Homo-oligomer: A and B are copies of this chain.
Amino acid sequence: MARRGSYAKGVAKREEILRAALAVVAREGYHGASVKELAEEVGLSQAGLLHYFDSKDELFVEILRTRDEVDMAGHSGTVDDTATLDELRDGYLDIVRHNARVPGLVELFTRLAADAANPEHPSRAFFAERGAGLRERWAGTIADAQAKGAIRDDIDPMLAARLLQAASDGAQMQLLVEPELDMAALIETLFALMRSSDRP
């Protein structure tokens, strides 16, 4: 089976395919793309491509997972324990700005989010884990910032993290219809609302 491909060659090839597929969706967009289309652009036949994945649905979920990994890797510098709230926020806004330039992936994200409504669909697990991880990390960051007086202490950190996730995902929905939308400014506004107002 593809996922259990323990030989380095198979895993490496799978990675290679996913990177290429990611680039294709980013460039060409995603309007109900078929495996065949994607396969040809990646340089394989449809059956050849599917050899590495359990199904079409799993393939597309893995493309999204690869994007996250690429995004994370690109900003690993800011994710150490000494990072301040502002640094973490700016790192996050960088990712937001980057994603806003790739509407094809935003569309894929949104479509798979809809698929996740079905508990049997591979994207369900992906979104559940992704959301939980994102919120856990931000809830911790926010709690720390509250201890330092940088964030209002009258909101629950987990609820604030949830709100950040919701605003991010919802902003992407708006982006699909208004490609010129400044998503980062929107998220920045939310951070501003959460900041302690210790002015008179």
Stretch at the interface among A43-51, A61-69, A82-90, A113-121: A113-121
A152 to chain B, nearest CB (A): 8
Q: Is the pair A159, B189 in contact by a Cβ cutoff of 8 Å?
A: yes
Output the nearest chain B residue to A162 by Cβ-Cβ distance. Answer: B186
- Copies of this chain held together in the complex: 2
- Report B-chain residues with C-beta under 8 Å of the C-beta of A170: 165-171, 173
Q: Is A150 an interface residue (CB 8 A)?
A: no
Q: Is A24 an interface residue (CB 8 A)?
A: no
CA distance A39 to B26 in the complex (A): 37
Q: Is A31 an interface residue (CB 8 A)?
A: yes
Q: Is A147 an interface residue (CB 8 A)?
A: no
- Report B-chain residues with C-beta under 8 Å of the C-beta of A18: none
CA distance A171 to B111 in the complex (A): 16
Q: Is the pair B173, A190 in contact by a Cβ cutoff of 8 Å?
A: no
- Report B-chain residues with C-beta under 8 Å of the C-beta of A154: 192
CA distance A128 to B160 in the complex (A): 28
Interface set, chain A 78-123, CB cutoff 8 A to B: 103, 106-107, 110-111, 113-114, 116-118
Interchain Cβ contacts under 8 Å between A and B, 19 examples:
A31-B117, A103-B117, A110-B114, A113-B114, A114-B114, A116-B176, A128-B177, A131-B174, A156-B189, A159-B185, A163-B167, A163-B189, A165-B174, A166-B168, A166-B186, A167-B167, A169-B173, A170-B171, A193-B194
Q: 17 extra interchain contacts, Cβ-Cβ under 8 A, other than A29-B117, A166-B170?
A: A116-B177, A117-B176, A117-B177, A127-B173, A127-B176, A131-B174, A155-B189, A155-B192, A156-B189, A159-B186, A165-B174, A166-B167, A166-B173, A168-B170, A169-B174, A170-B170, A193-B193
